[in-house]
Amino acid sequence: MNDLARRIDAALPQTQCQRCGYPDCAQYAQAIADGAADINQCPPGGAEGVQRLAALTGRPALPLSPTHGIEGPVTVAVIDEDWCIGCTLCIKVCPTDAIVGANKRMHTVIEAYCTGCELCIPVCPVDCISLDNVSGERTGWAGWSPQLAAQGKARYEARQIRVAREKVEHDARLEAKAEAKLADLAAASKLTEPAALDHKRAVIEAALARARARRAPPG
């Protein structure tokens, strides 16, 4: 991320809502800096957010793009715990780890960490998530704050680190399991025909080779 992109990112509300059309605020900031995105694609920032980005980029302040949403009050997600089935889908998409719960157990939202991104709503199979207005008539940056933006960014980045670490750990467990099976394939498999065992061995070895290639540093 270059200097302009960092300054743009710092001016965004950090809800990580993806309504701008990018996976997160940082990538939207980089796209603006690169000239690939307009400065009016962030509904949570609203009109004031567009003005801030205009000042940073020297571009004219355009009206907020209706394609990307409308400016509104700050909201937080609320889960109807009577209807929650514990599917964990909302937990998996929450960018700030603001939803807690376990598989087949009731989930709940930690209001202080929720950015109102709305990403949890479309994935809920029983439609038990709604949004509560927590800023009244104040919209955009009038209802948001630099402190909330900093918290949203910090929690999002911490989540990214956690998800990456858990993927590495998961892949390592799968690789260890495959290597153990490969060490004594005849005992670990229901197959008895030599040709079938050879085919199975080749499949596992190819999968292990792909996993190791993905881990190898680019060179």
Please check the confidence at residue 187 and state whether its pLDDT lies above 90.
no
What is the rounded (10 degree) CA torsion for 59, 65, 69, 72? 60
CATH number of 75-142, picked from 3.30.70.20, 3.65.10.10, 3.40.1280.10, 3.30.360.10: 3.30.70.20
Domain borders along the chain are: 3-57, 75-142, 166-215
**For residue 219, what pLDDT band results from cuts at 50, 70 and 90?**
low
If we measure between CA atoms, which residue out of 152, 158, 201 comes closest to residue 179? 201
Is the Cα dihedral 114, 120, 124, 126 positive or negative? Answer: positive
Please check the confidence at residue 54 and state whether its pLDDT lies above 90.
yes
pLDDT in tens, 125-161: 999 999 999 999 999 999 999 999 999 999 999 999 9
Give pTM, 2 decimals. Answer: 0.84
Please check the confidence at residue 174 and state whether its pLDDT lies above 90.
no
Q: Which residue has the tokens 């807690």?
A: 100
d(CA 29, CA 140): 18
Q: Please state, in angstroms and as integers, the Cα–Cα distance from residue 23 to each residue in 88, 108, 189, 201, following that order.
A: 20, 24, 42, 39
If we measure between CA atoms, which residue out of 87, 99, 94 comes closest to residue 127? 87
Class of domain 3-57: mainly alpha
Please check the confidence at residue 207 and state whether its pLDDT lies above 70.
yes
H and E: helices and strands count for the chain: 8, 4
